[in-house]
Every structure is written in structure tokens, then in C-alpha cells.
């Protein structure tokens, strides 16, 4: 296959074609081939530049932040273990560059601090907050309620209400029932979320019926993407309308994930497209980034953008129904970006589901965590 063809596929499908690892990494990087040494650096110059642009950081601040966030992932795992039932959640604090861990018992402080985390005392444990979240999930939410999630910083479940509908009778009734279920606070948002599928547009990554969506991450045997893009059995074609495969599993609403098998001359590599904004990124794992961490998204419409993780385990109330266990970010997205990749450093995070706003005026976007998708379908992430 000619190099120009490889690059064309890279820029429109997220699946790079090649027969050997060396060829794949060269095609993925365009004019600057990725080497083992370069790919293990904290980040490429282009990724650092994107963080500078989207997060308002200097180059040194971006480099330092990535290193701090990598350390925080390990601290979070250890801190949760030693805190035990006292664990009340955690988040990355960009100001201090450290993970903050909430605990309900002062006796847990020393052990948790020994992991490298800062500690704050709270009233409610993660288990109590999750129980409240489950009770709110069981309620029937009206359209004026946009989402709800466990917020460790507020030590509560946060219910987000669209400002224009805050005084609607059904919204007020939902809020009253939610507050009766446990520790709940209410916040207002300007817009309601929507999914980011789009009608067919020539030259974009993949089509199913008259819908265009974006590829998330390569897995052995296919790729993962958003469930609202199609039902099981639906055929998928690439940018050139050649057949790729079929949706093997799909769930929406309740969840928003799916996977597609890959064949007919197409195959997968562990790469997320940078769309010329940054170099194409190798995927080396799926370590979960904490709340507060920086994160970037790749999609077929708005391409590459970065932001921060705002919340985890949020239920998003789309017009088609509620979707659970989502992660909220400050990254923008637009129709056609659905299913695309969320990545932190070289770690896969999730597939784009929906949000509000756009990449001109800004907005928020949710993703379905990738590890949940892998576990649900018994898939293995394709890593470098």
C-alpha cells in the first residue's frame, strides 16, 4: 500500500494500514516517525502545544502537569486501598500538582498521606454517595434535568438543572425526590446535552446507514465507539465507502458504547489521530485519569481538542433516555465526533458520547469510560 494511501486512511478512519510495526509508526507520525524513545517521553511537542493553547499553560507547566497526573494515577490506586471504607473520593488539584483524597475518619489520614496524597475530612463515604447516586438513577428525570453525578469535592451528588427549566413543576418535583434520597446539591447549567452523531458527509471516518460517527480505540479484532451510532448487526463502511465490518454489540441508552469488527482489508493499530494539530498518538494502556486531570479528544468533525476531567460517574439525561457512569469534561465537540477517542497522555480514557456547545464558543462533552466497554464485551485494547 502506498504511503499516501496509508496517510489518507489515518486522517479519515483512525485505523492505520500497514504490515509491520515500523511502517505503522512511521505512517502514524507523518513526517516525524515515532520511535520507542520519543513515544515514551512525557509528551510530543505538538501535544504540549495543544495543552498550551487549550488549557492556557506554558510549555513547562504542561510538561510538569503531565508528569504530576501520571503520578496521581498511581497514588489514587494506593490511597483508595489504604483508606478502605473511609474513602470518600479523590481529585487531582492542578494548583498543587497533587491528588486530594477525601476520608471520613481522621484515623485514616496518616496512612493515606503516606501514599503521597493530600487528605481532607468529609462526612460521607464514597459508598454512601454511590448509594445516593443509585437512588437518584432510579427516578424518572424530566428533560429539564441535564445530568447528575457524584462530586467528591462537594461530598454530594450534584444534580444539574437547565436554567430555563429550573422552575418547571416536574423539575422541582424531581429535585425534591432527589434531595430526599441522600446528600444532594443542585446546580444550574445553560444547555441540555445531546449526542454527537451526524448525517453522512463525504470523506469522514465511518458511516453506518445515513449516520457518520468517529472511531474510538482499536481493540484486537475491531474498534470501540459510541452505542447511539447504530444497533447490533449494522454494517460499517470507511471513508471510501468500502466495507469494514458490523456492529457486534451496542447499548444505548442506559449505556453508550459499542464495538465493530474489522476485516475486508482493514486492520487496527494502537493510534489516536492528531489530525495535523498534534502528531498521531500511540496508545499504551487505559489507566484512568482522576478528576481534575487534563484530557484530549480526537474526532472526525472538530478533530483535536483538550480540556479537563470535571466529574465521573455522571448520569446524563439525553432526550433518548438516561446514560449512566459517564465522565464529564470541559473539552468541546461537535456532531460527527460521537464515538471518538478521549486520551490522557498515552492512556485511553473513553469514547465520545455527547454534550452541549461547540468548538467555536466552547462547551462540555461526556465520554463512556473505555475500561467498562472492554469488560462488557471481553475485548482487549490494542496497545503499542
Positions annotated as catalytic residues are: 228, 256, 338
CB atoms inside a 10 Å sphere around CB 3: 12
Listed residue (333, 14, 349, 54) closest to 194, CA to CA: 333
d(CA 94, CA 374): 29
- 184-189 and 156-162 strand pairing: parallel
How close are the terminal C-alpha atoms of the chain, in Å? 22
Between the CA of residue 318 and those of 133, 138, 252, 375, what are the distances in Å? 17, 15, 10, 24
Listed residue (372, 228, 296) closest to 46, CA to CA: 296
List the grid coordinates of 95.
494548583
Between the CA of residue 382 and those of 12, 13, 237, what are the distances in Å? 19, 16, 21
List the grid coordinates of 166.
429550573
Q: Look-up: residue for cell 424531581?
A: 174
Contact 294, 333 (CB under 8 A): no
Q: Look-up: residue for cell 520519543?
A: 38
Question: Rounded to 5 degrees, what are φ and ψ at 304?
Answer: -110, 125
Between the CA of residue 34 and those of 26, 43, 258, 306, what are the distances in Å? 6, 12, 30, 21
Strand partners, 87: 103
d(CA 2, CA 37): 26
d(CA 381, CA 219): 4
Listed residue (327, 285, 277, 347) closest to 306, CA to CA: 277
HSE at residue 377, side-chain half, CA atoms within 13 A, is 27
CB atoms inside a 10 Å sphere around CB 70: 17
In sequence order, the 6+-apart residues with CB closer than 8 A to the CB of 127 are 85
Angle, helices 59-83 vs 45-55, to 10°: value is: 90
Amino acid at each position: 500500500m502506498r504511503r499516501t494511501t496509508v496517510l489518507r486512511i489515518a486522517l479519515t478512519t483512525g485505523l492505520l494500514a500497514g504490515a509491520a510495526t515500523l511502517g505503522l509508526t512511521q505512517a502514524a507520525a507523518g513526517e516525524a516517525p515515532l520511535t520507542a524513545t520519543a513515544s515514551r517521553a512525557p509528551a510530543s511537542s505538538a501535544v504540549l502545544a495543544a495543552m498550551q493553547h487549550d488549557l492556557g499553560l506554558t510549555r513547562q507547566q504542561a510538561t510538569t502537569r503531565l508528569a504530576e497526573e501520571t503520578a496521581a494515577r498511581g497514588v489514587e490506586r494506593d490511597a483508595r486501598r489504604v483508606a478502605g471504607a473511609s474513602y470518600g473520593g479523590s481529585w487531582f488539584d492542578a494548583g498543587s500538582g497533587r491528588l486530594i483524597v477525601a476520608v471520613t475518619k481522621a484515623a485514616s489520614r496518616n496512612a493515606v498521606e503516606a501514599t503521597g496524597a493530600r487528605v481532607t475530612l468529609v462526612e460521607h463515604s464514597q459508598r454512601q454517595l454511590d448509594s445516593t447516586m443509585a437512588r437518584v438513577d432510579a427516578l424518572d428525570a424530566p428533560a429539564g434535568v441535564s445530568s447528575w453525578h457524584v462530586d467528591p469535592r462537594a461530598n454530594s451528588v450534584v444534580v444539574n438543572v437547565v436554567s430555563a427549566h429550573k422552575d418547571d413543576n416536574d423539575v422541582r418535583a424531581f429535585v425534591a425526590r432527589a434531595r430526599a434520597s441522600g446528600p444532594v446539591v443542585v446546580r444550574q447549567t445553560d444547555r441540555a446535552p445531546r449526542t454527537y452523531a451526524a448525517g453522512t458527509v463525504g470523506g469522514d471516518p465511518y458511516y453506518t446507514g445515513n449516520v457518520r460517527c468517529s472511531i474510538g480505540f482499536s481493540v484486537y479484532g475491531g474498534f470501540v465507539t459510541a452505542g447511539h451510532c447504530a444497533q447490533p448487526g449494522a454494517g460499517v463502511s470507511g471513508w471510501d465507502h468500502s466495507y469494514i465490518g458490523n456492529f457486534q454489540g451496542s447499548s444505548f441508552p442506559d449505556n453508550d458504547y459499542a464495538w465493530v469488527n474489522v476485516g475486508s482489508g482493514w486492520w487496527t493499530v494502537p493510534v489516536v489521530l492528531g489530525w495535523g494539530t498534534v502528531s498521531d498518538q500511540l496508545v499504551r494502556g487505559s489507566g484512568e485519569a482522576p478528576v481534575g486531570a487534563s484530557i484530549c479528544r480526537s474526532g472526525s468533525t472538530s478533530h483535536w481538542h483538550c480540556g479537563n476531567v470535571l466529574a465521573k460517574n455522571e448520569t446524563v439525561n439525553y432526550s433518548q433516555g438516561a446514560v449512566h457512569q459517564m465522565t464529564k469534561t470541559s473539552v468541546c465537540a461537535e456532531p460527527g465526533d460521537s464515538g471518538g477517542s478521549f486520551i490522557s497522555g498515552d492512556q485511553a480514557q473513553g469514547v465520545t458520547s455527547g454534550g452541549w456547545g461547540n468548538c467555536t464558543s466552547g462547551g462540555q462533552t461526556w465520554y463512556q469510560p473505555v475500561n467498562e466497554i472492554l469488560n462488557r464485551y471481553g475485548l482487549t485494547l490494542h496497545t503499542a
